[in-house]
Chains A and B, each alone.
Chain A
Amino acid sequence: MFSEYLIEYLKVFAVGGAICLIGQILINHTKITTSRILVFFMLLGGLFEILGLYKYLVEFGGSGATVPISGFGSVLVKGAFEAVEEFGVIGIITGGMSGAAMGISAAILFGFIFALIFKARTKEK
């Protein structure tokens, strides 16, 4: 029982860590900014989903593949696919937002609430 969990979590750790590691290599070798990293990994995840490959990564790595922003890209694509199946042409427009609804809405909501309460602090280092 315990060793099953351990292996499961090790896989999550390895896959998630590896995706972030690629990001760090990009930071170290190019002048990539936060926005570009996020966009790059989201598009990469979306591309793998379109090619039908991302699901294998999710099967193997679980949250290691869904927590990184590339998982967000794959959710967007999945949403679009489902919407097209259901509504046809209109699904092209509606699909993305329906897939990403939770991610975007939650971030905007928390951002709004916390911005009303908290203040930005000076960095110490």
Chain B
Amino acid sequence: MQRKGNQTYIFDNPPYIIGAYSVVGPKEAEGNFGDYYDLRLENDTFEEKSYEKAECKMHKTAMENAVNKAGLTFKDIDTIISGDISNQITASSFSARGHDAMYLGLYSACATFGEAALVGSMLICGGFMDKLLCSTSSHFSSAERQYRYPLELGNQRPPAAQWTVTGAGAVVIAKTGKSGAPRITGGTVGKITDLGITDVNNMGAAMAPAACECLYTHFKESGREPSYYDLILTGDLGKYGRDMTRYLLKEKGLDLPETFNDCGAMIFKDEQETFQGGSGAGCSSSVFASFIYKQMSSGHLNKVLLVPTGALLSKTSSEQGESIPGIAHAISIEVL
């Protein structure tokens, strides 16, 4: 039985991650993981006419190069599973057009990468497919205009705000692979959690309860201790959300070790003045496809729990005064 409890899965034959590729914008390239990214853009328009087109090109570049790095072509890929946060996930679907592969578009806001990797692994473990491509992306300037204000507006970003990551990450998951390659050994599907936060400028606070719920369930149902993992990373809670998650879990009687951190809180340097750190669907995927994947492939990390987090709001829902539902999905990646 691969299912543990209600929400957690531990796979009998964990699928392999056989290729990964990351593309980021100039600000991310100057951040803490600068050297790990595969492609660092000097200009975040990527020689395109609009930021939406630039995001699409980044996403497509990440997809194609991940497939190349796996030593495959799109003919070998059974299905593309991807998502983003730009206008009805156009960056993903436009990137997939022209490729001869099935396509499943997903949306869980910034938690999409977790959802994609988990759904992909389940499809492989269920025997439905052999090779999959999972990818997500986000772009600061396309997100800013969609969810917030015009770029040239002279407003002040509030101190709880986060900075949407300009980046795309893609991984190829396969049923078979070389020994030593990172494998997705299981995960926990999250539940929508909403504790009544309405402030769109404090996503960390809105998503922390969801991250807490997912992490708590994962440890309880898998029977693993937090110390089992070399690294526990949430997706884009930012510094405040990360500390809040730690606090909420402590209240439930679960102490997280020093190995707990957040991709968004780690991706930028303090002097880059993003305040709470990075966010966006491209945050966890670009960090995973660069830093985590390379550290695991080189043997520096063996067991990682990645918990991408998402805030499932729209501009309309927040204008109508709705609170912000959060979601988080955990995937455990191990070198066996």
Q: List residues of chain A with CB within 8 A of the CB of B35.
A: none
**How many residues on chain A are close to B (CB under 8 Å)?**
10
Q: Is the CB of B151 within 8 A of A123?
A: yes
Identify A121's interface contact among B25, B152, B155, B273, CB under 8 A.
B152
Q: Is the CB of A34 within 8 A of B149?
A: yes
Q: Is A124 an interface residue (CB 8 A)?
A: yes
Q: Is the CB of B156 within 8 A of A125?
A: no
Annotate B270-299 by CB proximity to A: 1 below 8 A, 0 otherwise.
001110000000000000000000000000
Identity of the chain B residue whose Cβ is nearest the Cβ of A34 in the assembled complex: B155
- Distance between Cα atoms of A34 and B141 in the complex (Å): 19
Given A125-B272, A125-B273: A120 touches B199 (CB 8 Å cut-off) = no
Question: Least Cβ distance of A59 to chain B in Å?
Answer: 30
Question: Least Cβ distance of B10 to chain A in Å?
Answer: 43
User: How many contacts A-B (CB < 8 Å)?
Assistant: 29
Q: Is the CB of A31 within 8 A of B141?
A: no
Q: List residues of chain A with CB within 8 A of the CB of B144.
A: 123
Annotate A72-115 by CB proximity to B: 1 below 8 A, 0 otherwise.
00000000000000000000000000000000000000000000
Identity of the chain A residue whose Cβ is nearest the Cβ of B45 in the assembled complex: A122
Q: Is the CB of B153 within 8 A of A34?
A: yes
Q: Is A39 an interface residue (CB 8 A)?
A: no
Q: List residues of chain A with CB within 8 A of the CB of B27.
A: 124
Q: Is the CB of A122 within 8 A of B156?
A: no
Question: Least Cβ distance of B144 to chain A in Å?
Answer: 8
- Distance between Cα atoms of A9 and B78 in the complex (Å): 72
Q: Is B150 an interface residue (CB 8 A)?
A: yes
**How many residues on chain B are close to A (CB under 8 Å)?**
22
Q: Is the CB of A120 within 8 A of B156?
A: no
Q: Is A67 an interface residue (CB 8 A)?
A: no
- Distance between Cα atoms of A118 and B282 in the complex (Å): 28
Q: Is B334 an interface residue (CB 8 A)?
A: no
Q: Is A10 an interface residue (CB 8 A)?
A: no
- Distance between Cα atoms of A107 and B75 in the complex (Å): 55
Q: Is A27 an interface residue (CB 8 A)?
A: yes
Q: Is B146 an interface residue (CB 8 A)?
A: no
Identify B201's interface contact among A31, A34, A121, CB under 8 A.
A31
Identify B151's interface contact among A27, A33, A121, A125, CB under 8 A.
A121
Q: List residues of chain A with CB within 8 A of the CB of B150.
A: 120
Q: Tell me the residues in window 41-66 of chain A with beta carbons closer than 8 Å to chain B beta carbons.
A: none
Question: Least Cβ distance of A117 to chain B in Å?
Answer: 13
Q: List residues of chain A with CB within 8 A of the CB of B155.
A: 33-34
Q: Is B44 an interface residue (CB 8 A)?
A: yes
Q: Is the CB of A120 within 8 A of B149?
A: no
Q: List residues of chain B with CB within 8 A of the CB of A125.
A: 272-274
Q: Is B37 an interface residue (CB 8 A)?
A: no
- Distance between Cα atoms of A68 and B145 in the complex (Å): 27
Q: Is the CB of A120 within 8 A of B152?
A: yes
- Distance between Cα atoms of A10 and B153 in the complex (Å): 29
Q: Tell me the residues in window 106-128 of chain B with beta carbons closer than 8 Å to chain A beta carbons.
A: none
Q: Is B140 an interface residue (CB 8 A)?
A: yes
Q: List residues of chain A with CB within 8 A of the CB of B145.
A: 120
Interface centre among B144, B150, B152, B166 (most CB of A within 10 A): B152
Q: Tell me the residues in window 127-179 of chain B with beta carbons closer than 8 Å to chain A beta carbons.
A: 140-141, 144-145, 149-153, 155-156, 158, 166
Question: Least Cβ distance of A104 to chain B in Å?
Answer: 18
